[in-house]
Amino acid sequence: MNVPSLPFFGFAAAVALLINLSGKAAWRRCVLLAANLAFVLSFSHSPRQLLPFALLLLYGFLAVKLLERRKDRIAFWFLTALALAGFCWLKRYSFVPSGLLLPYAYFTVGMSYVFFRVMHLIIDTYQGDLEEPVDALSYANFTLNFTSLVSGPIQFYRDYRRTESEEPAKLDAAVAWPALERIALGFFKVSIVSTLLSHAQHLVVASLAGPLGSVERILAAAALVALFPVYLYANFSGYMDVVIGVARFLRLDLPENFNNPLVSTGFIELWNRWHMTLSTWLKTYVYSPLLLGLIRAFPSPSLEPYFGVFAYFVTFFLVGAWHGQTPAFLFLGVMYGLGTSANKLYQIAMVGRLGRARYRSLCAKNWYVVLSRGLTFTWFGVSMLWFWSDWGQLATYVRALGVPAVLSGIVLTIVTGGTVLSMILRLERPVRGFAVAGRRIFDSPYVRTALTTVIVTLTFSVTVLLRAPAARIVYKGF
How high is the pLDDT of residue 302?
87
How high is the pLDDT of residue 466?
67
**Among candidate residues 268, 355, 354, 360, the one with its CA nearest the CA of residue 309:** 268
How high is the pLDDT of residue 477?
67
Three-state SS for 300? coil
Q: CA 148, 449, 193 angle in degrees (round to 5)?
A: 50
Q: Is residue 300 part of a domain?
A: yes
* Number of independent structural domains in the chain: 2
Q: Is residue 246 part of a domain?
A: no
Q: Is residue 72 part of a domain?
A: yes
pLDDT-above-90 percentage for the chain: 72
Predicted confidence (pLDDT) per residue in 372-415, tens digit? 999 999 999 999 999 999 999 999 999 999 999 999 999 999 99
- Average pLDDT on 46-69 reads 93
Q: Is the pLDDT of residue 335 over 80?
A: yes
Chain centroid offset of residue 256 CA = 10
How high is the pLDDT of residue 433?
74
Q: Which DSSP letter does residue 365 get?
A: S
Residue pair 179/248 in contact by the 8 Å Cβ criterion: yes
Q: Is the pLDDT of residue 167 over 80?
A: no
How high is the pLDDT of residue 47?
81
Predicted confidence (pLDDT) per residue in 84-109, tens digit? 999 999 888 888 888 888 888 888 88
In angstroms, rounded to a whole number, what is the distance separating the alpha carbons of residues 279 and 69? Answer: 31
- Average pLDDT on 233-239 reads 96
User: Which of residues 99, 131, 165 is at a domain's end?
Assistant: 165
How high is the pLDDT of residue 405?
96
Q: Is residue 371 part of a domain?
A: yes
How high is the pLDDT of residue 131?
85
How high is the pLDDT of residue 436?
67
Q: In degrees rounded to 5, what are phi and psi of residue 258?
A: -140, 150
- Average pLDDT on 278-291 reads 94
Sign, Cα dihedral of 416, 419, 422, 427: negative
Strand duo 439-440 + 435-436: pairing: antiparallel
Residue 28's alpha-carbon distances to 14, 21, 374, in angstroms, are 13, 9, 47
Question: Are 46 and 161 contained in the same domain?
Answer: yes
- Average pLDDT on 160-188 reads 86
Residue pair 340/287 in contact by the 8 Å Cβ criterion: no
**Of 397 and 172, which is predicted with more confidence?**
397
Q: Which of 70-84, 170-184, 216-230 has the lowest mean pLDDT?
A: 170-184
Q: Is residue 327 part of a domain?
A: yes
**Among candidate residues 39, 259, 70, 249, the one with its CA nearest the CA of residue 146:** 39
- 381: exposed, middle or buried (C-beta count within 10 Å: 0-12, 13-18, 19+)? buried
**Among candidate residues 146, 159, 168, the one with its CA nearest the CA of residue 246:** 146
- 202: exposed, middle or buried (C-beta count within 10 Å: 0-12, 13-18, 19+)? exposed
- Taking residue 397's Cβ as centre, other Cβ atoms within 10 Å add up to 18
Sign, Cα dihedral of 365, 368, 369, 370: positive
Give the containing element (helix H, strand E) for 45: none
User: Which of residues 116, 140, 165 is at a domain's end?
Assistant: 165
Residue 242's alpha-carbon distances to 35, 183, 249, 252, in angstroms, are 17, 4, 11, 13
User: Which of residues 98, 130, 165 is at a domain's end?
Assistant: 165
> Which ranges of 250-326 would DSSP assign to H, the alpha helix?
267-271, 276-282, 288-297, 304-323
Q: Which DSSP letter does residue 266 get?
A: S
Q: Is residue 146 part of a domain?
A: yes
- Average pLDDT on 31-40 reads 96
Q: Is residue 319 part of a domain?
A: yes
Range of the domain at 41: 28-165
Q: How confident is the model at residue 114 (pLDDT cuts 50, 70, 90)?
A: very high
Q: Which of 288-297, 375-384, 460-469 has the lowest mean pLDDT?
A: 460-469
Q: Is residue 471 part of a domain?
A: no
